Chains A and B, each alone.
Chain A
Amino acid sequence: MVRIPETAARPSAPGPAPDAGGRRLPRTLHPVAWWIWALALATAVSRTNNPLLLFLVLAVLGHVITMRRTEAPWARGFKYYLYLALTVVAIRVVFRAVFATGITPHDHFLFSLPHLPTPDWYAGIQLGGPVSLEALLSAATDGLRLACMLCCIGAANTLANPKRALRVLPGALYELGVAVTVSLSVAPQLVQSVQRVHRARRLRAGRSKGLRALRGIIVPVLEDALERSLRLAAAMDSRGYGRAGTATRRSRRATGALMLLGMCGLCAGAYGLLDATAPVLLGFPALGAGGVLCVAGLRLGGRRVTRTAYRPDPWRAAEWAVAGCGVLSAVLLFSNAGFNAAELNPSVYPLGWPTLPLVPAAAILLAGAAGFLAPPPSPPARPAVPAQRAEELT
Chain B
Amino acid sequence: MLMDTPDEMLASAAANGDRVAFATLVGRHYERIHALAWRLTGSRTEAEDLAQDICAALPAKLRNWRGEARFTTWLYRVIVNAAHDLRRRQATRTRAALGWGDWELARQAEIATLAEANDWLAQAMTRLSPELRDTVALVLGEEMTQAEAGLVLGVSEGTIAWRMSEVKKRLRAMAREEAK
A binds B: no
User: Contact residues of B with A, CB < 8 Å?
Assistant: none
